[in-house]
């Protein structure tokens, strides 16, 4: 076998992958320490392999997948940027990774100080007054935000039924609204790709608890009427929630609080560089303005008068706890390390470059001689959404083009989302890609566009150069079966 799938297939009796000096303490038989009934009778079934073989095995597995350390991963809205390895090294330091959640505040001053400082940085970045670091994902943050809206209106003795959401919203938005006990009220997108203000005016009423809005929106466009929107919602004492998953476009340029938002989540794993995807751990802190601080989940980090740090329980208005301890702490370490290493100017530069990269790629693909249709071209921030309608009319769907990109060594963009663009290809290159990489990617998509006429079958059969060929997507999702069988 050239490249065996299982590490057990590489196993050879007696081969070892470690080198340790002989012990100089006398061996103690296990039976003198452990009771016989808990002793294993068979030897552990472990592969017997050398160190290079272990390495080759795992490198080989990692090459079967696409990841951002291999090449561009332009998955729109997901911000698959480069994750500096130093962040991982810092999070793995024993003082952080070896903490037990039950340790006392005295024992964990460093961790508490890190959370305190991270919260301070997030407040400066967003203009919000208080954060909880507990939520384990953007979507959990959204739920926290919706529950805060609920508590706020309850405390005003006001019964509200709806939360307004644009029709371009991320799927988690309506899900969070419904889980939080509200109904969604959809507002349409205007010809410029922004919230249709007329439609919004028609929908705002005292039955509206608030609005959840992504800024920049999922078309990659800045909602430039944001002040009119927040004023309108506030005029019925509604609360404005910013889905801040796209914050990568905004740092140093504007802040949620300055635009009139009352609540925002931040996806630390997107904007502040934690490896993510595939359901890995995330972190979606929620920030609120002063008047909503009492509703946050607790406990919150406190900086005591004597200079020490502690945890304080929230007051009786709190929506309660949403995660054990302090959320996914390793993510907090990575985010703080990232923020410190870039600094305020570096972060502002990051956002500017993310916007510049998206606009350059947009110009390559949808410029005057562009092969692709771009339905909402004005005011592109960190991402843009092409339509594959022209290609579909010639017999090749967006899905086929996405598969053909895999053959060319790129991850596909997000496809068929947002729903307001037919045959959507949502492309977010991020700031960490070079001009040359963007050009390589644009060339690949343009070549695919030419093949729509010259050799459509090669696209319909793609991918052919990946470890597995075209899957039945529905079956793969509904009947997930990742167990290996001989």
Ligand X SMILES: *Cc1c(COP(=O)(O)O)cnc(C)c1O
Window 65-84: contact mask with ligand X (x via CB under 6 A): ------------xx------
- Helix, strand, or coil (residue 14): coil
Q: Please, which residue, 243 or 431, has the CB nearer to ligand X?
A: 243
* Residue of this chain nearest to ligand X (CB atom): 138
Facing residues of 437 across strands? none
Query: What's the min distance (Å) between Cβ of 140 and ligand X?
Result: 7
Sign of CA dihedral 196, 197, 199, 205: positive
Q: For residue 313, give Cα distances in angstroms to 284, 320, 327, 394.
A: 20, 10, 15, 61
Sequence-ordered list of residues with C-beta below 8 angstroms from that of 198, at least 6 positions apart, any chain: none
Window 446-485: contact mask with ligand X (x via CB under 6 A): ----------------------------------------
- Report the Cα 47 to chain-centroid distance in Å: 36
The DSSP output letter for 259 is: G
Query: Binding ligand X by CB under 6 A: which of 189, 214, 357, 398?
Result: 214
Q: Please, which residue, 230 or 264, has the CB nearer to ligand X?
A: 264
The DSSP output letter for 413 is: P
Query: What's the min distance (Å) between Cβ of 142 and ligand X?
Result: 7
Query: Binding ligand X by CB under 6 A: which of 243, 428, 433, 449?
Result: 243
Q: Kindly state whether residue 282 participates in binding ligand X, applying the rule CB under 6 A.
A: yes
Query: Binding ligand X by CB under 6 A: which of 87, 132, 139, 318?
Result: 139
Q: Which of 293, 214, 289, 288 is nearest to 250 (CA)?
A: 214
DSSP 221-258: B--TTHHHHHHHHHTTT-EEEEEETTGGGTTTT--TGG
Burial 460-470 (b: 16+ CB within 10 A, else e): eebbeeeeeee
- Report the Cα 462 to chain-centroid distance in Å: 28
Q: Kindly state whether residue 215 participates in binding ligand X, applying the rule CB under 6 A.
A: no
Q: Kindly state whether residue 382 participates in binding ligand X, applying the rule CB under 6 A.
A: no
Query: Binding ligand X by CB under 6 A: which of 83, 126, 134, 218?
Result: 218
Q: Kindly state whether residue 248 participates in binding ligand X, applying the rule CB under 6 A.
A: no
Query: Binding ligand X by CB under 6 A: which of 74, 180, 193, 284?
Result: 284
Q: Please, which residue, 138 or 174, has the CB nearer to ligand X?
A: 138
DSSP 323-380: SSTTS-HHHHHHHHHHHHHHHHHHHHHHHHHHHHHHHHHHHHHHSTT-SSB-SS-TTB
Q: Please, which residue, 169 or 404, has the CB nearer to ligand X?
A: 169
Q: For residue 2, give Cα distances in angstroms to 5, 9, 401.
A: 9, 11, 32
Q: Kindly state whether residue 421 participates in binding ligand X, applying the rule CB under 6 A.
A: no
Span near ligand X by CB under 6 A; candidates 56-64, 151-159, 238-246, 448-456: 238-246
Span near ligand X by CB under 6 A; candidates 23-31, 221-229, 240-248, 383-391: 240-248
Query: Binding ligand X by CB under 6 A: which of 132, 168, 172, 273?
Result: 172
Please count the residues of this chain forming the interface with ligand X, following the rule CB under 6 A.
15
Query: Binding ligand X by CB under 6 A: which of 10, 111, 138, 255?
Result: 138
Q: Please, which residue, 172 or 430, has the CB nearer to ligand X?
A: 172
Sequence-ordered list of residues with C-beta below 8 angstroms from that of 463, at least 6 positions apart, any chain: 403, 404, 406, 407, 469, 470
User: Distance between CA 81 and CA 269 in Å, rounded?
Assistant: 10
Span near ligand X by CB under 6 A; candidates 137-145, 346-354, 404-412, 416-424: 137-145
Span near ligand X by CB under 6 A; candidates 132-140, 384-392, 416-424, 468-476: 132-140
Q: Kindly state whether residue 189 participates in binding ligand X, applying the rule CB under 6 A.
A: no
User: Distance between CA 206 and CA 191 in Å, rounded?
Assistant: 28
The residues of the shown chain that bind ligand X, judged by CB under 6 A, are 77-78, 137-139, 170, 172, 214, 218, 243, 245-246, 267, 282, 284
């Amino acid at each position: 076998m050239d490249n065996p799938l299982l590490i057990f297939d590489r196993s050879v009796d007696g081969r070892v992958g470690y080198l340790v000096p002989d012990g100089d303490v006398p061996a103690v038989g296990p039976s003198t320490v452990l009771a016989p009934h808990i002793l294993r009778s068979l030897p552990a079934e472990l592969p017997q392999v050398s160190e290079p073989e272990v390495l080759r095995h795992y490198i080989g597995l990692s090459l079967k997948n696409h990841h951002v350390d291999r090449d561009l991963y332009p998955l729109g809205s997901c911000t698959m940027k480069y994750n500096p390895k130093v962040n991982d090294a810092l999070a793995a330091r024993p003082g952080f990774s070896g903490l037990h959640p039950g340790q006392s505040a005295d024992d964990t001053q460093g961790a508490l100080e890190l959370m305190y400082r991270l919260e301070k940085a997030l407040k400066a970045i967003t203009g919000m007054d208080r954060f909880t670091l507990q939520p384990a994902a953007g979507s959990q943050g959204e739920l926290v935000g919706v529950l805060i809206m609920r508590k706020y209106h309850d405390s005003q003795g006001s019964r509200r039924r709806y939360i307004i959401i644009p029709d371009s919203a991320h799927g988690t938005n309506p899900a969070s609204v419904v889980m939080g006990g509200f109904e969604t009220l959809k507002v349409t997108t205007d010809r410029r790709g922004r919230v249709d203000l007329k439609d919004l005016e028609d929908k705002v009423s005292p039955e509206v608890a608030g609005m959840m809005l992504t800024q920049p929106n999922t078309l990659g466009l800045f909602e430039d009427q944001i002040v009119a929107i927040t004023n309108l919602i506030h005029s019925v004492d509604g609360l404005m929630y910013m889905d801040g998953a796209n914050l990568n476009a905004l740092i140093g340029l504007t802040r949620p609080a300055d635009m009139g938002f009352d609540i925002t989540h931040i996806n630390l794993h997107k904007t502040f560089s934690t490896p993510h995807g595939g359901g890995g751990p995330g972190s979606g802190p929620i920030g609120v303005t002063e008047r909503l601080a009492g509703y946050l989940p607790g406990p919150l980090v406190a900086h005591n008068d004597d200079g020490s740090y502690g945890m304080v329980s929230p007051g009786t208005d709190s929506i309660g706890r949403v995660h054990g301890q302090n959320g996914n702490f390793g993510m907090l370490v990575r985010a703080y390390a990232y923020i410190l290493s870039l600094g305020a100017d570096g972060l502002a530069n990051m956002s500017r470059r993310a916007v510049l990269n998206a606009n350059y790629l947009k110009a390559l693909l949808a410029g005057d001689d562009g092969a692709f249709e771009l339905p909402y071209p004005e005011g592109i921030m960190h991402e843009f959404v092409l339509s594959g309608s022209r290609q579909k009319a010639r017999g090749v769907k967006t899905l086929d083009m996405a598969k053909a990109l895999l053959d060319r060594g790129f991850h596909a963009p997000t496809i068929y989302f947002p729903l307001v663009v037919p045959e959507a290809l949502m492309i977010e290159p991020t700031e960490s890609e070079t001009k040359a990489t963007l050009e390589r990617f644009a060339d690949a998509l343009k070549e695919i566009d030419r093949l729509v006429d010259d050799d459509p079958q090669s696209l319909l059969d793609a991918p052919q150069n990946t470890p597995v060929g075209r899957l039945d997507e529905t079956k793969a999702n509904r009947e997930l079966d990742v167990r290996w069988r001989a």
